[in-house]
């Protein structure tokens, strides 16, 4: 899944460069032009790496709408390599300083009001992060689509006024993923994502992530707005807006420590 906070996820709120591996050729759907598997893999890798690289520093605003409440937050994120990630809430004031850290396979939350660091258990990975529709797992998990799924082009052409390529992904046996199917739609001109649909193991739609407001951040053109809508509650959503992004910057390993988490 695209990790949007540092590369995610907030969906989205997060993403990194990694060496490619050999991938089996996938059959094209009827009515589409066959493309080399490497080209399809490059599309998925581009989407995975959209908001990050070897290291990153971003500023993100998050707007959450649920049946009972609306909330807004501003946050700052840092990432380094595949295994280090830190997000710190800046506003509102009552949440300021609340932070989430991933280092290796361990994840911690820090709550400044009670000055307490809590390790996030595996059972909480599917829980919403800070009341949003983005889960703890969306923020910290790192599964490259081109390596965890088989994939094929399922559509290419004009749709809703844009020239797009649609890829349909199915999980590989024993891949550490939760989705039964993923559909990725990108602009053909620059491979920027327009929509990603996630389906559960029964192939029922679970979430739709929409990408818009493409502009230059971190030296590249990226969608600066991501909207996450749960299929079970279509009137609810979480929207993330990237306001700044730096890529491939020098970050000290000590930033990704429990001591730094509490600063």
Which position has the token pair 């009972």? Answer: 68
What is the rounded (10 degree) CA torsion for 254, 255, 258, 259?
Answer: 80
- Any idea which of 67-71, 94-98, 102-106 has the lowest mean pLDDT? 102-106
Q: What does the pLDDT average to over 142-167?
A: 93
* Complete domains list, the chain, with CATH: 37-261 (2.50.20.10)
pLDDT above 80: residue 255 = yes
Q: What does the pLDDT average to over 110-133?
A: 78
- Any idea which of 43-52, 176-185, 216-225 has the lowest mean pLDDT? 43-52
Please state the pTM of the whole predicted model.
0.81
Q: Is 146 helix (H, G, I), strand (E, B) or coil?
A: helix
- Asked if residue 32 lies in contact with residue 153, where contact means CB atoms within 8 angstroms, the answer is yes
Show the beta-strand stretches assigned E in 131-262.
149-159, 162-171, 181-187, 193-199, 205-217, 220-230, 237-247
DSSP, residue by residue, 100-139: EEEETTEEEEEETTTTEEEEPPGGGTTSBGGGSSSBHHHH
The pLDDT assigned to 206 comes to 94
Element (H, E) at 60: strand 55-65
């Amino acid at each position: 899944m695209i990790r949007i906070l540092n590369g995610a996820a907030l969906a989205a709120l997060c993403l990194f460069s990694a060496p490619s591996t050999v991938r089996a050729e996938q059959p094209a759907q009827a009515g589409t032009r066959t493309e080399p598997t490497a080209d399809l893999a490059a599309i998925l890798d581009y989407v995975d790496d959209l908001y990050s690289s070897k290291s990153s520093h971003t500023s993100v605003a998050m707007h959450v709408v649920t049946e009972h409440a609306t909330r807004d937050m501003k946050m700052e994120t840092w990432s380094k390599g595949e295994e280090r990630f830190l997000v710190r809430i800046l506003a509102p004031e009552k949440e300021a300083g609340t932070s989430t850290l991933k280092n290796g396979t361990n994840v911690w939350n820090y709550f400044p009001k009670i000055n307490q660091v809590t390790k996030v258990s595996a059972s909480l990975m599917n829980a919403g992060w800070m009341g949003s529709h983005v889960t703890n797992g969306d923020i910290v998990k790192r599964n490259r689509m081109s390596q965890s799924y088989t994939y094929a082009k399922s559509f290419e052409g004009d749709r809703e006024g844009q020239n797009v390529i649609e890829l349909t992904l199915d999980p590989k046996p024993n891949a550490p993923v939760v989705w039964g199917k993923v559909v990725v739609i990108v602009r053909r001109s620059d491979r920027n994502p327009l929509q990603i649909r996630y389906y559960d193991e029964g192939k029922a739609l679970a979430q739709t992530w929409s990408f818009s407001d493409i502009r230059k951040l971190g030296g590249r053109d990226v969608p600066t707005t991501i909207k996450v809508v749960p299929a079970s509650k279509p009137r609810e959503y979480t929207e993330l807006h990237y306001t700044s992004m730096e890529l491939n910057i020098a970050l000290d390993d000590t930033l990704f420590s429990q001591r730094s988490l509490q600063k």
